[in-house]
Amino acid sequence: MATVTKSETSSKSFVVPQTMQAAVYRGKDDVRLETVPVPEIGPGEVLIRVHTCGICGTDLKKIATGSHSAPRIFGHETAGQIVSVGQAAKNFQIGDRVMVFHHIPCGECYYCQHKVFAQCLVYKQVGATAGFEPSGGGFSQYVRVMDWIVRRGLVKIPPHVSYEQASFIEPVNTCMKALKALRLQRDETVLVIGQGPIGIILAVLARLAGATVVTSEGYGLRHNINASAADPMNRVRELTEGRGADAVILATAGNSLVRPAIDAARPGGRIMLFAQTQRSEVAIDPATICVDEKTLLGSYSASVDLQEENVRLVFSGGIDLAQLITHRFGLQQAVEALKVASHPGPESMKVVIQPGMEWEKN
């Protein structure tokens, strides 16, 4: 590949190399920093030089369980700079700062017509890759963005917005989708179970919708509690005259919390399973659904219908999402970054891999 462009931080031109560094998944709990070819792009595609890619819990699950074939290059919360543009790619040019959605639906099939976009066969195809089986590719120096993603899933980042803030667009969209499905009403009480960045984003969005939110994290939330010293359900009961939460969001994996989440909802309440992405079984009391009239819901991945609203919210700066980042690693430390993200501690929240650390120095 011999594409010449200019860095946004330097007047020096450079040639996109033939090879690059990437964190390659080789099997269960096995990720290695390797040299791989820079992906070639087609006529309607673009090549992005990755600046920041957030580490998502779904990627961590895939690595920890070995659920996917190897080799792959994961990473889908990606923001960077376009360095090569295919002849048929419209509305984009070299130097544009962008974030990329790795899933975009066809818009025409049965599931798209019924607004269940994540079940669309085109949506299930990953449209961003750094090589091997397309899997996002953000844990690398360069990512190829395929044509159907370029048309509907590539978002320009305005000058006042950082790459870090923009890298949250995809996860915020998934959270907005879950909140829309819950149909929250103002002054409802919501319990968010989950202490990670996704739990915080869900809690903040619920608060913006006018709900009273109980969570074990802070981030300016009024009714946050220390989960190690107090029972969140006690606080929920105090706020609801003993009824229980109007809505409960389970934002952490693990079947052991499904039953407590259902129990935490009032009769007629709603329970959202947000992080249960691994196929398995769990025992519940069916009478809680029938007799107590509780509604059990699920939400997975992003919604193209929410994209404009989602992007507008992130770019507005009303939520300082970059504040959630506690650890930043260069690509050379990608394996260490994944280990830190897999074993969060009291001082860790969002972990990101930033190949841009290197090219911003030039």
Fold (CATH) for 4-161+317-359: Quinone Oxidoreductase; Chain A, domain 1 (3.90.180)
Domain ranges of the chain: 4-161+317-359, 173-298
What's the average pLDDT block by block, 10 residues per block, for the chain (362 residues)?
38 78 98 98 97 96 95 98 94 96 97 97 98 98 98 97 98 97 94 90 93 74 53 84 96 90 96 92 95 97 97 94 96 98 89 92 69
Task: Tell me the residue length of the chain.
Answer: 362
Q: Classify domain 173-298 by CATH architecture.
A: 3-Layer(aba) Sandwich (3.40)
Q: Helix/strand/coil (H, E, C) string of 309-322?
A: HHHHHHHHCCCCHH
Closest CA relative to residue 81, chosen from 179, 173, 159, 193: 159
- What pTM was computed for the model? 0.92
Q: Given this model, what pLDDT does residue 218 score? A: 56
Cα→Cα distances 184→26, 146, 318, Å: 42, 36, 20
Region of 298 (left: φ > 0; alpha: ψ -120 to 50; beta: rest) is: beta
Q: Which residues contact 89 (CB under 8 A, 6 or more apart)?
A: 43, 44, 45, 46, 147, 150
